[in-house]
Structure formats: structure tokens, C-alpha cells
Structure 1
Amino acid sequence: MKPAERNRQPLLEPPTTMMKHWLSTTLSRLGIALTRQRRPSRDAPPPVFEPLEPRLLLNGALPMIDRIEADNRGLIDLHVTAFLNPTTVTADAVRVTTAGKDLLFGTADDVQAPLTVSYDDQARRIRIQADVPLDARYRVEVDGDAIRDLFATPLDAEFNGPGLPTGDGTAGGDLVFFTRKASSPTARLLTTAGEIRVELFPQDAPKTVANFIAIANRGDYDGVVFHRLVKDFVAQGGGFQADPLLAPAPAVDPVVNEFKRSNVRGTIAMAKRGNDPNSATNQWF
């Protein structure tokens, strides 16, 4: 043997190649084939990911009524803390009654009022319109077991007092309350742009307030329009109807001027003719 041949070492395969050979042989004995993953072609379409479905956050809170409003014409608003299943908010879940000849509630001669019920999902509000006599005291009953939220949880409905959320911590139960005359009258103007609340001051303007309430109670303000709108200055209504458009509302006798409060921004006053302070009728601004 030549000296150069004695120093020659056998050539070894690179470690990576040896590992692949060993792994392929081992997997082959186990009946597993080793395949090489091909790179995607540049012309292959990009992967498509399905969009995530919307999910509702579960907070575990029971649906309750956190605000109640009822007026002297049988309009009742129940504001709830959760989104409700609209199919469960029906007239079958509500009962409105007035006292009979004995003037007592809960007796055989109670009179059940015809009513309609609607639900505004955006406002989370149940609206009840009951056909009750004007200014009559009435009783409202709501079946909390019948009205459900989107997760089929019954309304926690027990009445806890004016200004307090309903409920006793257990789903279901009945909401029962009676209306009463407010110590300070408040008018609610329901418009296409939202609700306006007007606090009335009979101690300062008794004749003006009485005239305004009488018109509202007759329904003569129902369906009237704001016929005068001037940005940053005035919004005036009460005198003309929407249907037929701008038809005059029923006329009323003028009221003597009762000036005690300034008509500043955010307040409402009766509109008058320019040179006659005692000419207020049904229009306000």
C-alpha cells in the first residue's frame, strides 16, 4: 500500500443526509412513508380564510327593568337592561286594569283595558298603549316568565319601588305596580327625532299650564308638526297637523299672559302675536 493510501479516511455523508436516511429506514420498517412537502406554486391561489361568526358576550346578568314611565293617557314605557327576544314581548304577557264601580283593585268588577304592546330593540324599550279613561289610576301587570332575553332567560320583574331596578335575583316573577298622580306634571313630546321632556310649573303659570294640559289630554297635540325651525334660534309647533299637511290644529281660546320665568335656551313658552301679550293659544316654542 502506498503511503498516501494509508492516510486516506473513508468519506462520510453529511449529518443531515445520514439523519434522513436513518429516519426513512426506521419509518419504513414501521410501515410509515416519508414524503417531501412541496412548496406551493407561485401561481397557486392565496389561501381563503372563513370570516369569524359574530358572538354575543355572556355576562350572566339577569334581564331587569331599570326605568318605568307611565302617563295619564295609558302610555307605559318599560326600559330593560338586556336585549329581548321580540317574539316573547306580546300583549299576552301584559295586563292593565282600572278599578270598577267599587273603586277597589283586585275585585270582581275590575275592568281590563284593551292594549297594544311593541318592543324597540335599539332603545331596549317595551311600550304599552292601554285604552284607559283619562287621568284614571290603573294597575299594570307584566308576566316576567313569559318575556325572555336572547338566551331564553326570563325577565327578573318584581317591582321594588319607584326609581329602583326590578328583580329579586331570581329569573321570572311578575311586575305589578299602580300609577299615581305626579306632584309636578311633566309632558313627554314623542317626536320622530326622539323624546322631549317638559317640566310644567302650575304654581307660576296656572292658566297656561292648565290650557297646555287640556289640549294634550284632548289629543289635539297628537300628530302636530314643528312648522317653524330656525337653527340656533327657535323650534315652534303645536298649531298645525302633519296629516293633512299643515292643516290648522283645533282652535282654543287665548290665555292671559303669566310672565314669571324668562324664556331662555332649553325652556318652552307659548307663542303670541307681536303686539298682544294675551294672545297665546296652542302654539309653543
Structure 2
Amino acid sequence: MSRYRGRFAPTPSGPLHFGSLIAALASHLDARRAGGEWRLRIEDIDPPRCPAGAADAIQRQLEAFGLHWDGPVTWQHGRDAAYGAALARLTALGLAYPCSCSRKQWRDYPVYPGWCRDGVREPGKPVAWRLRSDLGLRPVVWRDRLFGAQRFDPAEFGDVVLKRKDGLWAYQLAVVVDDADQGISDVVRGFDLLDNTPWQRQLQHALGYSEPRYLHLPLILGDDGQKLSKQNLAPPLPTEDGAVRPLLHQALQALDQAPPVALARAPVAEQLAWAVAHWDAARIHPDPARHRRDDDATASPPA
């Protein structure tokens, strides 16, 4: 792919937090520095996890930080036909199969042992659909833009679920189909998703899709050493300009871009203009211990 097209794809399970800002900001700057497009996709394939109003709140937060996307927002909830067509292709290739097993049944195994590969073990029970990791691309090799050469054997991760027993689509299939349909050339996201990449590259290979370039970012850690997340009650991003400006500056610092101190008081548009002009992903240090959330991030910078 010669044309850069990136994306930010949050799950609307709650408002964005500082860790989310890092992923959104890095993907935005990477796209703008390359003269490319930056798309917004709302990954709402799991309705029980997506409270009403969360997606709207996310869009307001992004706009408050000046992270304006190109084109219309893409929503996963209306993409059932595309996911179904991809699953049908995988099934025809012998790479997807129905599975009646429950997590409780294989809890003594490190990964799902593939009991239903040659036929449903318990006919008549609800089934999920899984990817045969043993028949696809192996090993999976790629070069991450920050973490370098990667080599995985997907069989060590087991046969990932593509469609759940409750009929909802699983993340791995949906994200691969969406990235392909949107023509995404570059994926910039957190390190916690790096070990999802082998399954996704298997799916891309099987479905004949182009393989995007990947840049996985060090996770932002809280004072307890755990990654910032909604589950860990990370505070939501503000939308008031007085709080947004210093927090945007701190996000640039967390990405090792060394923004001038005086820029912390500058308007959002001015900070982003500087950040685009100076963006260099190679500056990011891969050690997550260097990327801790400052609890005083929303405090006013020194005069």
C-alpha cells in the first residue's frame, strides 16, 4: 500500500482515558506526518459492553483534543454481512469449524485443545466458530516498527474464536475484515494487542488481504504498575480546554516527543501542529517502566 491510511478503533464500553489518548494521538500523528488519512471506527460488536452514550462521549473527547478524523465514522454493529461472508470463506477453506466446547471443559489445558476440529463434540449444543491455527500460516513473522522482528507459532495460542455461541462476532475476525475493507495500511495500537497479531495475520493471509504495517506502543502504567484501563478505573479524559492543554502536552511527553515546556499552555491546534511537524516514532522508548501516568497531569504547568 502506497497511501497511508490509519485508524483509531475504540470499544465504546466507557469514556477514553489517558492510555486511550496515547493510542489515539500516536496513530493520528503518524498518519498526519505521512500525509495520510486517519479514520475512526467504533468497535461496538458486543452490545452488552457498550452503554448508551459512550460512543458519543468518545467522539466529543477526541474533538476536544483536536483529533479530527477523515470521512464518516464506521460502526461495527452494521457489518454482519461482511463478517458472515468472511467466515463462510474460511469454512470453505477448511480453516474455520463449529465448536461446542466450554471453557470449563478445557480449563486444565493452557489453550483450547481442538477437540471439535474433526466434528462437533456435543451435537445439539450451541456452537462457537473457531479458526484452525494448525492449518494456517505458520510461523507468523513480521517486523514491528518499534519492537522489531516478531515470530510466533499461532498453534501455541490455540484456535481463536471467530463467532461466539451467543451469535456475536469476535474481535479477531471483525478487526481483520474492517481493516481490509477500509484499506488500512498502518495499525498503531497498544502493546497489549501485539500477541493478537499472529491470529490476525493468519486471517489476512487466508482471506487474501493486504497486511498492514504495525506499530505497537508501550503501555501507560499507573502508580500501581498496572496498565491504565477502564477496569482499573482510570479517570476519563476531560473536555474542558483548560484541562485538555496540559494533558495533551503530557501525552506528547509520554510518547517521548520532547515538546517544549512552553507548549503546555498553547492552544490544542498549536500543540498538534508542532507535534505533526516533529513526530518521530523512532523516539518512543519501548520500556513501559518509562511510561507512567502523572496524577498531576491536569494541573496547570509552571509559569
User: What TM-score do the two structures reach when normalised by structure 1?
Assistant: 0.23
Q: Which structure features the higher share of strand residues?
A: 1
Q: Which structure features the higher share of helix residues?
A: 2
Query: Which of the two has higher C-alpha Rg?
Result: 1
Q: Which has the higher contact order (CA 8 A, sep 6+)?
A: 2
User: What TM-score do the two structures reach when normalised by structure 2?
Assistant: 0.22
